[in-house]
Structure 1
C-alpha cells in the first residue's frame, strides 16, 4: 500500500511543479527572471515552489 500512495503523491508533486514551470513560462516577467525561476523550480523543487508561490510573478 505504501508504494502506491508514494507513487501517487510523487505524481501529484510532479504535476504541481510542471504547472508552476508553465505559469512561469507564460508570465510577463523578463527572460532572465523566467530562466532563474525555472532553474530554481528544477534544482530545488520544494523550496523553489514555496518561494515562487510567495514571491513569484503575479497575474
Structure 2
C-alpha cells in the first residue's frame, strides 16, 4: 500500500543511529574517541551500531559492575 518494509527498517536504523550518537556524546569518553564513534556510526550505520553496542563508550553515570 503505502510504506514498504525497507522504509520502516530504514526508519528504525535512523532512530537507532540518532540514539547511539546522543549516548556517545553524553559519555565520559575523550573528545577524539567520541568523534571516531560518531563517524563510524554515520559511515557504517548497521555495522557501526553493532560495534558501538558491544564496544562503544557508555553513557555518563552508567557503569557495568
TM > 0.5: yes
**C-alpha distance after superposition, 1:35-54 (max 9, x if no partner):** 00000000111111111111
- What stretches of structure 1 move > 6 A for 4+ residues in a row? none
Which of these two proteins has the greater Rg computed from alpha carbons?
2
Residue 47 (structure 1) aligns with: 47
Residue number in structure 2 paired with 1:35:
35
Q: Distance in 1 between matches of 2:33 and 2:2?
A: 39
Query: Secondary structure at 1:41's aligned position in 2?
Result: helix
- Which sections of structure 1, spanning at least 5 residues, go unmatched? none
Count matched residues: 59
Indicate the residue corresponding to 1:16 in structure 2: 16
- Partner SS state of residue 28, structure 1: coil
Higher relative contact order (CA 8 A, sep 6+): 2
Which runs of 5 or more structure 2 residues have no equivalent in the other structure? none
TM-score (normalizing by structure 1): 0.87
RMSD of equivalent CA atoms: 1.6
